[in-house]
A and B are shown apart, each in its own frame.
Chain A
């Protein structure tokens, strides 16, 4: 079973993503604060889903952090944001994909499965 770490400060969105992913059989570990990641309080998953706009640490900073850590650098990261302009910034910071809010379930699942296949 593949494990996915989701970092999202909006609890409702976090809840929905969790439900969607769990329903198709992924193991989901959720964080509502980026600090937990930076302080290494997480188990290394198969995929990260990180919201850009987090309270406290910015999602893109986390993305950058993960991509320089040798143990997490190879793990695909999907950045989600309400702003479509974030897409390019996200790629700069090493994100593997970008999903604009609001998204449909299928869109999310397609994206996740695409990165987990490899």
Chain B
């Protein structure tokens, strides 16, 4: 018993162990998530599809689908599945890594296996019958993934998958089969009848169950950890098992047992072990299921082939040496599972004995705890998988094919006696030549191991052999056995007497007793069950100790039960192994027994025969035999045969001297009686033997006949079997193909519907013509466009339909040509006057619909009405032509430039205006091969730069371009940034030749200059005369005239100013504003100007706020001109009068002049324009504010020429503040 650890200790150990497991798994490239193997065959496509489409995308498992597929067809299963799940579906390629939440499908004609988290493929040889590719994969999955392996068998014929599910379940994985929803039940039924299936569900339910299972601790937490946390709960499970089944699994290795218990927890949807214990207590059936699960043991034939070599070479010869031909060879195979090992021994022995096999009595006792296993063993039917180590010769000799499985021949079955037997509880067998107990010890704790070895020691003959499993030893029992073969663990019995106490009826030992303070109590029904058990057990003990040796036989005289030491009376007869009483009983007793039983049968009451003489090794003795009929029920009839010991020959000898005479008389009498009896018996025997001989001969010949016909039948049967399998496999493949075809057919139907929908809704008329020119079908558009009904068209000659409107020579030629040459045509334009539709232009296109039979080929004709399009195209072309002409004849040059100044397009007007052809300039860069005047090239650069920087604005620049003849012309360019415009992708520049305009402008300015100059001269003289006149008038008394003269003088001043302004503007435009800079004090200038203006503004008060003693260098007259202009404006635009504030301020670099009024103010849109020439504030009301509008423009220019700035702040109705600044360090 393992020493008890504290919980925390083991928890730590366990977590280390888990890490170790995960590391190992990682090292082998295995990701720790469950892998689900899905096996399917005929009818499986639908089931697989249904299963996969019900699996959540992020389930946390991966799926491998093994579908039996036709080797000759490419499978479309992956495509079919991909349409129905969001998980990625792969057609497996060799070496592909398994990823979580992915689906893998086996390709046709391969075997697939799984190694280190990778799927591997191997091609398969063509064989007759069915490939067991599902078993092949499941077995690999089971050994690699263990409790993370899940197997599902869906619809299919045959039995593939059954062995695979067994492997998965025995490694701790979980298994499913499809329920009655399967189209073909062969595979699911075969699997579920094997007893290795946990769930039988529909595909949809399987999907649900999988989603549930993936969250179970069994799948996600390694079992070792759960076990550590739940020791007390596990103990309760053990108690329940012991009570119900009488088997104490605590004697077994706990890791294996516990892992299997946890598996049942997961399968039963119990939250944890605690819940499961509760469930177990109320559900007796579950205890049975758990019990069966715990007993899972998978073996194969000739599991260790070399072991059988040793048997052949050493053990069998030793056994047969010195053996009487009638002595039976007795072999015991405890824990035989489903009997493979027992049969292997039998086969080996048969082979060794050769022809003697039939005459040598052989008894192989094969026992196991599991009734289910024993039942299977008795049936002796095995599948191919457990026969891997069986050579074809053996297969042929010792097996018979039944339903795709192999049944061991009767001769072998006859020598094997299968029985349920608990090694730890039931008494052992005796007088064995060989005990082979393989892979049992490893499941047991040391104490029960020792107990079993004791039993084996007892059971073996003196020369007997014990064989253990490869990894097992006799442990501490070296005093009992001696090892003779180390490799194969073969031992012989040591001749020691063992004081063997068979404690095979032990009840619960104290360590299994329930903790007292535990809240769970064992339910009462279980307790009641145990009472009679004890009684029965007691009876059995008593019986085994005090009752005489006896056997129970049924009415056919088959021994059912041995009781007590029957060895003295029974001796198996040579020949076939049999439990028939008369064959088992010693030869001397046969006759007496037969007579006795005959009598009992007849009379119905017990009878006995006394003083039957027996001789054992020369010692004579007498025995009594009693036969008692036993009738446990009305139907059955049994006989209990009791053997009682009489006196031995020694006793007879002892009595001899005392009673010689009496004995002699008695002897004589006895002899007479016996002789009489002997005579009778001899006669009886003779008659019987003659009768028997005759019957035997008859039977022999009949048997001969039966045998030969049987052989014939056998061979026919085998042939049929093979053909059946072939048919079955082709049927499977056909079914799979059929299913795929069905799905393809569905797809096809869908696409037909799709195509039809398109054909019917399409606007272009379509018509299909047979090769005989008759219309097969046409679409709705055809009927509606040509105003005809289907029955007028279909089946009619194409050129006849719709008032023969298609009877056009050109179309006819094309169609005939197309049919004869078997080619289509494209976009044949035909214009004609059609009935109903009027003059139309149609485009005809035709495609050949090729058919294998040329005569059945058709022509698809599509008709497109392009009348409207043609007209639009015409209109478009005209409009394009018009625009082209417009651009060409435009007086402007239009060009599109790229960002770096390459000409993409330039209008043809270029040639007319500058002499270059458009082709000459397109593609040129305006900077690399410029025609711009060298002095102006920077202007052009700036234009492009500005345009790029401000995409919203139109940039205007003037520069000179060189004509091809070398002369320069002045152009005004306006360009817009349309780089972001999808249709243009460039900078659009428009050049206008303004050379003539420039000349005219110059002339105009010259004229203005001359005119204003010429105007000034008379104004000078008028002004002079005026002043002289005012002088003269001042003395006169004519006041009225004097006032009038003064008024004229003022008007002359105005005229003078206007002329001056005009002249200034002219100068500015000529670029010729000349500044006469001098040093002066600005404040003094302000005062001076204010004083000059003040008298003319009687309504206004000029307020000066001067704080600057600075001296600046500027044109005093011009600055004064600006000031007086601003002040005059302030007066002009505040007609109501009021304050006008004139101030100066200094900052570090500038002096600023402010003129503030409180008049009508300026709106914001006006503010932007007031500095432009000829602009006048006030819009239509401007009549009230006279002037040419040149004043501010001149002011702006003067300030600019000084390097200063001018600005305005104003609100409509609240007056305005003009400000201009001049730099202080102006040199």
Contacts and interface: CB of A to CB of B under 8 A. Distances in A.
Q: Do the two chains belong together in a single complex?
A: yes
Interface of A: 10, 12-13, 15-17, 19-20, 23, 53, 82-85, 87-88, 101-105
A12 B1016 CA distance: 12
A84 B1027 contact: no
The listed residue with most B CB atoms (<10 A of its CB), out of A17, A101, A105, is: A101
B1067 interface: yes
29 contacts: A10-B1017, A10-B1018, A12-B1018, A15-B1021, A16-B1021, A16-B1025, A16-B1028, A17-B1024, A20-B1027, A20-B1028, A53-B1013, A82-B1012, A82-B1014, A82-B1063, A83-B1013, A84-B1063, A84-B1067, A84-B1074, A85-B1067, A87-B1076, A88-B1074, A88-B1076, A101-B1019, A101-B1020, A103-B1023, A104-B1027, A105-B1024, A105-B1027, A105-B1028
Given A12-B1021, A85-B1074, A102 B1016 contact: yes
Interface in B161-176: none
Contact of B1028 (A19, A53, A102): A19
Nearest to B1052: A102
A96 to B, nearest CB: 15
Contacts of B1012: 82
A82 B1016 contact: yes
Contacts of A17: 1024
B1056 interface: yes
B1190 to A, nearest CB: 15
Nearest to A102: B1020
Interface in B336-394: none
Contacts of A103: 1020, 1023
Contacts of B1025: 12, 16
A90 B1108 CA distance: 35
Interface in B979-1021: 1009, 1012-1014, 1016-1021
B838 interface: no
A16 B1067 contact: no
B1011 to A, nearest CB: 11
A-B pairs, top 7 by smallest CB distance, nearest first, are A16-B1024, A82-B1016, A12-B1021, A102-B1020, A82-B1013, A101-B1020, A105-B1027
B1072 A102 contact: no
A37 to B, nearest CB: 20
A8 to B, nearest CB: 9
The listed residue with most A CB atoms (<10 A of its CB), out of B1009, B1017, B1027, is: B1017
Interface in B1022-1059: 1022-1025, 1027-1028, 1031, 1056, 1059
A16 B1014 CA distance: 17
Nearest to B1025: A16
Interface in B697-737: none
A102 B1020 CA distance: 4
B1013 A13 contact: no
Given A13-B1017, A83-B1009, A102-B1022, 5 more contacts: A53-B1013, A88-B1074, A102-B1016, A102-B1020, A104-B1027
A5 to B, nearest CB: 18
Nearest to B1059: A102
B176 to A, nearest CB: 111
Contacts of B1009: 83
B1016 A101 contact: yes
A104 B1023 contact: yes
Contacts of A10: 1017-1018, 1021
A46 to B, nearest CB: 21
A20 B1024 CA distance: 8
B1076 A13 contact: no
Interface string B961-990: 000000000000000000000000000000
A83 B1024 contact: no
A82 B1019 CA distance: 10
Contacts of B1031: 23
The listed residue with most A CB atoms (<10 A of its CB), out of B1012, B1020, B1021, B1022, is: B1020
Contacts of B1017: 10, 12-13, 82, 101
Interface residues of B, number: 24
A45 B562 CA distance: 180
A34 to B, nearest CB: 16
A107 B1014 CA distance: 21
B547 to A, nearest CB: 159
A23 B1032 CA distance: 11
A74 to B, nearest CB: 25
Nearest to A16: B1024
B1072 A23 contact: no
Given A12-B1018, A102-B1056, A85 B1072 contact: yes
B1132 to A, nearest CB: 23
A7 B1072 CA distance: 27
B1072 A16 contact: no
Nearest to B1030: A105
Contacts of A87: 1074, 1076
Nearest to A9: B1017
A10 B1025 CA distance: 14
Contacts of A20: 1024, 1027-1028
A102 B1023 contact: yes
Contacts of B1024: 13, 16-17, 19-20, 105
A102 B1076 contact: no
A50 to B, nearest CB: 15
Nearest to B1024: A16
Contacts of A19: 1024, 1028
Contact of A13 (B1021, B1027, B1028, B1074): B1021
B1063 A13 contact: no
Contacts of A88: 1074, 1076
A7 B1022 CA distance: 19
A78 to B, nearest CB: 14
A16 B1020 contact: yes
A6 to B, nearest CB: 12
B1056 A23 contact: no
Interface string B1056-1073: 100100010001000010
Contacts of B1056: 102
B1095 to A, nearest CB: 15
Contacts of B1059: 102
A53 B1014 CA distance: 10
A10 to B, nearest CB: 5
Contacts of B1028: 16, 19-20, 23, 105
Contacts of A104: 1023, 1027
B1020 A83 contact: no
Nearest to A14: B1021
A23 B1034 CA distance: 15
B1009 to A, nearest CB: 8
The listed residue with most B CB atoms (<10 A of its CB), out of A15, A20, A104, is: A104
Contacts of B1067: 84-85
B1075 to A, nearest CB: 10
Nearest to B1057: A102
Contacts of B1014: 82
Contacts of A13: 1017, 1020-1021, 1024
Nearest to B1017: A10
A102 B1049 CA distance: 13
A103 B1009 CA distance: 18
A24 B1028 CA distance: 12
B1120 to A, nearest CB: 14
Contacts of B1018: 10, 12
B1197 to A, nearest CB: 14
Contacts of B1021: 10, 12-13, 15-16
A10 B1022 CA distance: 12
Nearest to B1013: A82
Nearest to B1117: A84
Nearest to B1074: A85
A83 to B, nearest CB: 6
Nearest to A82: B1016
A17 B1022 CA distance: 11
A23 to B, nearest CB: 7
